[in-house]
Structure 1
């Protein structure tokens, strides 16, 4: 909490710095804030990662037998070829109609604190159950799913190798394997990572100028902080529509149309943007924060009011945001 508050204050201070020469003095702080963690992704004590579970979870992620009619898998909407999104403004239901919200990417979930745009799931294991059971997403029914998977003798052996639970194939082991795989989806190292670690040649002058805007005048860092570029909190950023968001989830504030801050890693490949997919481009996102939002009492105090960016500043900020993504579309195993 103290670090988060300090980041917001720093953003306000930086926006008023009179001379660019003062900017490098803050780099030790930003290197700490944006440094990538070392080692393997964290896993909870009740689901320690194993190669057997990860391999099984990867295959289950692509397995259409988890859906009621055998036509959908997790990868149908979270397509690895689209950076684990579907490229739609809002996901498509089984009936062909648009679902309520945009399909989020799955990068770096291992470090998340809550899941879904409204934070309704407290773990990846819990999150994995929702689409499988939802009648207009995968419409899976557990007795049928388990029966289909048990009929696959090779898969049955793999479950027995991965789990000590008996029976080995049951909802909890399926969800556990899926979660273990999803925790391995870590966004690749980018030029930004090399730059923040000390390689001064890794970013261009325009990208560095964009970083200064991101952490200063534009105030983006107020919500998009940390190496994943998210504070894992919920904010009303003034989007139109009547989606109650966090306001109807236990722990949320009734009437507050807040949604979880998305991470910005691989953002180049995950359009369209926002919880409703209403912004087709990052240019449109900047338009929103430059006065295109709905002003209302619950609007996040982290948002900069009256933000005006000239053409050069907009270009620099967009160039920096692109540097948070891989140069080519990542292709995970």
Structure 2
């Protein structure tokens, strides 16, 4: 398999030369090319205006400039469409990690009413292919989208002039005071795990007749890799209290109950992993995104709420947002201005060469 992959793909400097590929879906040139065509095929959407590439633009390292995904009939999701790069090494997909394989994941946006809004049978009929072929071809194409050979990679491999002095200072902060490697590790700069950084936490703001905010909880929007399939909202009062049940329209409109934290505390605008597991401890957890190409893939976080790398660095320097489930690795860093600038400069050095197949 490795020999076949080397013949098909040039793996950029900095990535693991071993690429995990399912035995039942080996990489072939025909599948990669068919997957590329399907990735850009707008027939896979209800209104004929949306393709996978609509939210994962190859010109932006397969990301979107929109804070949340925009699907058919201009329907707006609730999560950001992250960069689709180096997903061959992914172990869980979507921001809440609900799907274990690319072959399953690539079909979900087609079925999502806020994304492409087709049944799989309708999609297959439109393009004249069976569902299995669509799945295997799209997964193969996404598996072949690679990013590496960045200034950082060249520096690590012996070119000591590949990073500026400021970027080298940023690298030291990244590894040390910034504690970034607690989550952003390995060739893909992601531990492929889920963490609560406080990005989804919203402190209550007093208002007339109420001291609570009530955001809706349905995770419709986009997930890690491709736009996420819509799932039923979960009532906050039920998280951790057993199997999730479908909420009523009134529940979804109101946010469906209490955060369980007491009046005046706050709520999670998106429960993240807890929507999948129903566990209180998973509230507010989202999957660690890659940092490769990060300078080209704004906005940031699961909801696209931070517009710039400066904003991201400030967020973590301040210690994220305190909440009952905050990851123990998230704490105030108290970076000074020069350290923040150096860290941003280093993050920009992670942009390199993006390849998509042979």
- How high is the TM-score relative to the length of structure 1? 0.79
Partner Cα separation in structure 1 for residue 344 and residue 270 of structure 2: 28
Cα distance between partner residues in 1 of 2:194 and 2:319: 20
User: What is the aligned partner in structure 1 of residue 45 from structure 2?
Assistant: 67
Residue 182 of structure 1 pairs with residue 142 of structure 2? yes
> Residues 145 and 354 of structure 2 are in contact (CA less than 8 Å); yes or no, is this contact kept in structure 1?
no
SS of match in other structure, 1:186:
strand
Within a 5 Å distance, the mapping from 1:37-186 to structure 2 comes to: 37-38=16-17, 41-150=19-128, 169-186=129-146
Task: State the alpha-carbon separation in 2 of the partners of residues 257 and 53 from structure 1.
Answer: 37
| Higher strand proportion (structure 1 or 2) | 2
Residues 80, 331 of structure 1: 8 Å contact kept: no
Q: Which residue of 1 aligns with 2:295?
A: 268
1:198 aligns with 2:158: yes
Give the Å deviation of 1:271: 0.2
The answer for unaligned runs of 5 or more in structure 1 is: 1-33, 151-168
Query: Contact 2:190/2:288 (CA < 8 Å) preserved in 1?
Result: yes
Q: Which has the higher helix share?
A: 1
- The separation in 2 between residues aligned to 1:205 and 1:108, in whole angstroms, is 28
In 2, Cα distance between equivalents of 1:144 and 1:296? 44
Alignment coverage as a number of residue pairs: 278
Write the distance in 2 (CA, Å) between the matches of 1:78 and 1:259: 19
Q: Distance in 2 between matches of 1:119 and 1:255?
A: 11
- Kindly provide the CA deviation profile for residues 132-180 of structure 1, in whole angstroms up to 9, marking residues without a partner as x: 0111210122333222323xxxxxxxxxxxxxxxxxx311110110000
- Taking only aligned residues, the RMSD between alpha carbons, in angstroms, comes to 1.9
Q: 2:275 — aligned with what?
A: 248
Residue 283 (str. 1) matches residue 262 (str. 2): no
Distance 1:325 1:205 in 2: 17
2:283, 2:350 → 1: CA distance? 30
Deviates more, 1:285-294 or 1:222-231: 285-294
> Where do 5+ consecutive residues of structure 2 fail to align?
1-12, 203-268
The alignment status of 1:213 with 2:239, answered yes or no, reads: no
Inter-partner Cα distance in structure 1 for 2:74 and 2:14:
42
| Greater alpha carbon shift after TM alignment, 135-144 vs 228-237 | 135-144
Which residue is 2:339 aligned to?
Answer: 313
Between the aligned partners of 2:67 and 2:182, the Cα distance in structure 1 is: 26
